[in-house]
Chain A
Amino acid sequence: MSQLTYASIDQTILDTLSPAKKYYWAIVAVLFLGVLFGAVCWTYQIFVGIGVGGQNNPVAWGTYLINFVFWVGIAHSGTLISAILHLFRAGWRNPIARAAETMTVFAVCIAGLFPFIHLGRVWQVYYMLPIPNQRLLWPNFISPLMFDVIAISTYLIVSTLFWYTGLLPDLATARDRAEGMRKKIYRILSLGWTGTHEQWRHYTRGYLFFAALATPLVISVHSVVSWDFALGITPGWHTTIFAPYFVAGAIHSGLAMVLTLVIPLRKIFGFEKMITTDVLENVAKTIVFTGLIVGFAYATEFFIAWYSHNIVEIESFRWRAVGDYRLEFFIMVVCNTILPLFFLFKKIRRTIPLLLGISLFVNLGMWYERFVIIIGGVAHGFSPHAWGLYRPTGIEYGIMLGSFCLFFFFFLLFTKHLPSVSMTEMKETVS
């Protein structure tokens, strides 16, 4: 980090905005095809009906809501890194803050799509908006699903504004070094930022308030998502630990996704001097911490089920561990709580392929955590005659594939068109 100068930071980051090579566009095209495939699957579902998915009695919430919770969770660590660590003045977050914030914005966008997909009759989405929908009936804000609409919409707007505000000085730097059409575009996007002392005076204050507001917001959003479940009386869902459990899990998955995105990014764009192994190691240490919280939550759920003497809860958790979804449960426990413990070893924390590999497994584990919670709860409820199983259909897998392609499609476009590392914050780090 000490070898970096302001000029070398600008040079390295602005070089990434140079016209892309053919293989970049080839990958973008492949991802776009994946997005199209997902869109075709969704269109098919709209025309044929929601029954083309695997959701049915008793499991009415399937992969669409698993993916919704998964993507909202992914978003969270972006805000942790950009806002919470900003308040704590953790300098190591500066090189990865922009990528993490961008991940947040795109992940919330993708998450926001899934309630639309899950609705089936998507054209009736306006029922969720705070307007009188039919016969002057308004949405009922007692429902946790309406909490969700308000929380996710707020999170999307706030994280987008926060991200854009952080970009302003960098867009001005790009503007001052670009030519032709690019200069015109950056000129509009930078809103005329010139970095005068008066601008910085108000900007730093406003940015601090942004971080201070985003911090409680991020905690509230995944708490609200957890209440979609916890406020129902379904066994396995109706528990008070869900809010902190979901928030920790969200940050756990998001940090893993940060590693998944940032490790190839630093390799491809030559950011090794900025996104150093120390930075990645700090993310890995945080993953150990969140992994331990998640593991503790898993254990607490089982303990409380046993301690409650409630036979329905006991059966629900027995079935979770050894029932039809035991494989999913096993993947969840191993990937989320055991594999991250390897990060306790310094050598593993500093070996890039292992960091990437374990981060991928944590992503996988966190997807399965949502599967185990959502499906496991409703599939094995109070009445044995209403028990049932669920498997996603091809259409659901197609839509899921499309969502992942859309996320990486957006991220790839971002890396070549906007500064993927914050030049301003990097300069602050070296100054």
Chain B
Amino acid sequence: MNPGQYIMGLFKEEDSTVNAINELEKSSYQFHRVNSPIPSHKIMDALKLKKSKVGWFTLGGGIFGFLGGFALAIYTAVQWNLIVGGKPVVAIIPFVVVGFEATILFAVFGNIIGMLTQTRLPSFKDLEHYDPRCSGEYFGILASCEPGQTEGLKDLFKKSGGEIRTFSEQS
């Protein structure tokens, strides 16, 4: 994060948080992030976030699983090379079950890998300038400004109905 004064506006309402984000966008203060206890589509829309790329990981996992499931079933059947129940050795219809289950399983693995890599989890380092109330009842907007502009930034948050928390450099 860039040097300067870090200030967090803490809001109890989703709408006032969105309002503060919009005001912040119009200002010269630097926006850093929002911490919130719930996923808020209003906030995501206000921040104009792009669609997540997690789906590509899910798709990749699914394709791998689909091919891998069929490959496993076919490979093992060829090792037997024995006709069972009058079905061909490589019996596609029963193998659809294996292929389907493997598709789901590996798509989920891909999904998990996507979520972990994109959210950068696990991360056991303390997040800088984090207020634990943001996992409970507050939406927190973290912004920074030049040392001489702190009052203006605080006013912006207050006008939107927020409470203020000022972080020292160590917090």
**Provided the pairs A192-B121, A202-B118, A203-B119 are in contact, do residues A176 and B80 lie with their beta carbons within 8 angstroms?**
no
Q: How far is the CA of A177 from the CA of B118 in the complex (A)?
A: 26
How many residues does chain A have at the interface if contact means C-beta atoms less than 8 Å apart?
60
Instruction: Knowing A136-B79, A140-B77, A195-B36, say if A210 contacts B108 (CB, 8 Å).
Output: yes
A141 to B122, alpha carbons, bound, how many Å?
A: 37
- Knowing A136-B79, A194-B135, A195-B37 touch, does A202 contact B97 (C-beta < 8 A)? no
Helix, strand, loop or mixed for chain A's interface?
Answer: helix
The stretch from A19-27, A157-165, A263-271, A338-346 touching chain B is A157-165
Which residues B31-63 have CB closer than 8 A to chain A? Answer: 33-40, 43-44, 47, 49, 51-55, 58
Check B123 against A198 for contact (C-beta < 8 Å).
Answer: no
**Interface hits, B52-85 → A, CB 8 Å:** 52-55, 58, 69, 72-73, 75-77, 79-80, 84-85
**Closest CB-CB distance, A209 to chain B, in whole Å?**
5
Q: How many residues on chain B are close to A (CB under 8 Å)? A: 62
- Residues on A with beta carbons closer than 8 Å to the beta carbon of B162: none
B95 to chain A, nearest CB (A): 6
Per-residue interface assignment for chain B, residues 116 to 159, with 1 indicating a CB less than 8 Å from any chain A CB and 0 otherwise: 00110111110100101111110000000000000000000000
CA distance A198 to B33 in the complex (A): 8
B72:A191 contact, CB within 8 angstroms: no
Collect the chain A residues with CB atoms within 8 Å of residue B108's CB.
Answer: 157-158, 161-162, 210, 213
With an 8 A cutoff between CB atoms, is B102 at the interface? yes
- Give me 8 A-to-B residue pairs in the complex whose CB atoms sit less than 8 angstroms apart, sorted by A's number: A142-B84, A150-B69, A188-B124, A197-B49, A198-B33, A201-B44, A210-B108, A428-B39
Given contacts A191-B121, A192-B125, A197-B36, 7 further A-B contacts (CB under 8 A): A147-B98, A150-B102, A173-B135, A191-B123, A202-B115, A206-B58, A217-B104
For the complex of A and B, 10 pairs with smallest distance between CB atoms: A176-B132, A138-B76, A6-B137, A192-B123, A191-B122, A205-B52, A206-B115, A202-B118, A141-B73, A200-B39
